Amino acid sequence: MDRYAVVAARLLHSATTEGGAASYARQLADGIGPRLAGSPGEKAAVAWALDEIRAIGLEARTEPVMVPVWRRGEARARVVSPVEQGLAIAALGGSPPTPPSGISADVVEVDSVEALEALGPSRVRGRIVLFNRPMAPGLAGYSAVVGLRTDGASRAARLGAVASLVRSVGTGRHRLVHTGSVVYSSDAPAIPAAAVSAEDAELLHRLLATGANVKVTLNLSCSALPDAPGANVVAELRGRSHPEEIVLIGAHLDSWDLGTGALDDAAGVGIVLDALRLLASSGLSPRRTVRAVLFANEENGLRGGQGYAAAHALELDRHVVAIEGDAGTGRPLGLSVHAGPGGAESVAAFARLLLEQPLVREEIGGPDIEPLAAAGIPLLDLVQDESRYFDWHHTAADTFDKIEAGPLAESTAFLATMAYVLAEDAATLPRPRATPAPRGVQELWRSDRGPRRR
């Protein structure tokens, strides 16, 4: 372990003094901006990533995937009774448009699926359902409420609702609206769905609490276009003695379109690219190949992760581990681990090279690498300080000024160290039992299965 400690110290020094991860994140967020699947920004990001990897001195390639194309258009909403007030809203990804004249209907408010079901069709039919539940801080808080965003529209539609509004899934205020995917079920109409700011959800709550009928007019002009060509970007630092064995490090290249995707996930892209650069420039040559993958379409379809698993099906048994970074700019705290017996303990020992008391959570990895669970590949997910992440996540304020260069550099050194040790160590992590493959991408887009951070 002493020789690994020397390497970890070198990587930490280089990462924190050179600031490469923040530079990559700035180029992607400021220089290219929003990168929703099928958009010009997405194509520009792929070309940029290829150039940056080649500048490191490594070969880079694209692997094609077809991605969904959804355009936001305009979104407007107003309370028209018992008062007139505008509402801050954003269409949810995948929502159909309203009729050109909009939808005007009374609002009914619930804070859970159970509360919605208790109302029944008689109190929901013909109305706009408002899912109004505040989010507690952190990833656990997000996971507890994000299902209302992903699944709420279909739940409401089954009971006859004409549209769905959800309180923005985030911890920030400032009348910021959090977008994200809505996932439609095949057994219910796909009704228009939008997020409303926390402040405006509370306005509607107060108006409803007076006992008045609250009517809202909603106009969405979003649209879906035919699938378009997209691409994962792949690069490798070839292993010296077992190049056929692969340690994968990845992040997603796309972003939502309200902000510039700095935290989600230019930060992760910066971490992955700079970890690759540090390993290449340091002269370190681990026995196994370190493969970097920048995934397409994580935000509204997961085509990149699914496409990678399908394209590499014949070599998945040679993947010894996959690590994903999609947790913003905060300092590293540890890793989530999906491995066989003893795997979490091994990961914790390696993590202590840079973290005194690493947090190790035993759970499955992030959305882009989750399809690899079907092949029994150990999956790791960077755990970072997310205390401010959900203030800005999926909002117009997800911009480069939120990036903290120092903590981002520490996360880069941590990922580079973990990638090196797992690619160099004679032992590999124990493989977990293969889990069922996630549902097909088209089914996922319409099903009741919700994402973690998407």
Residues noted as catalytic: 298
CB 32 within 8 A of CB 429: no
Beta bridge partners of 289: 246
For 8, half-sphere exposure in the C-beta direction (CA atoms, 13 angstrom radius) is 20
In whole angstroms, give the CA distance from residue 175 to residue 187: 34
Show the tokens assigned to 252. Answer: 């997603």
Angle at 73 between CA 229 and CA 224, to 5 degrees: 40
User: The tokens of 75 are what?
Assistant: 């979104």
Are 270 and 24 a contacting pair, CB within 8 Å? yes
Task: Tell me the residue type at 85.
Answer: Q
Pairing of strands 319-324, 332-338: unpaired
Q: Which two tokens stand for residue 317?
A: 């048994």
Residue 280 and residue 237 in contact, taking contact as beta carbons nearer than 8 Å: yes
Sign of CA dihedral 89, 91, 92, 98: positive
- List Cα–Cα distances, 430 to 63, 337, 345, 362, in angstroms: 29, 11, 11, 14
Dist. CA 284–CA 278, nearest whole Å: 9
Cis peptide before 51 (omega within 30 of 0): no
How far is Cα 220 from Cα 75, in angstroms, rounded to an integer?
5
Ramachandran angles phi, psi of 359, nearest 5°: -80, 125
| DSSP string over 64-97 | EEEEEEEE---EEEEEEESS-EEE-EEEPBTPPP
Helices (H) and strands (E) in the chain, counts: 13, 16
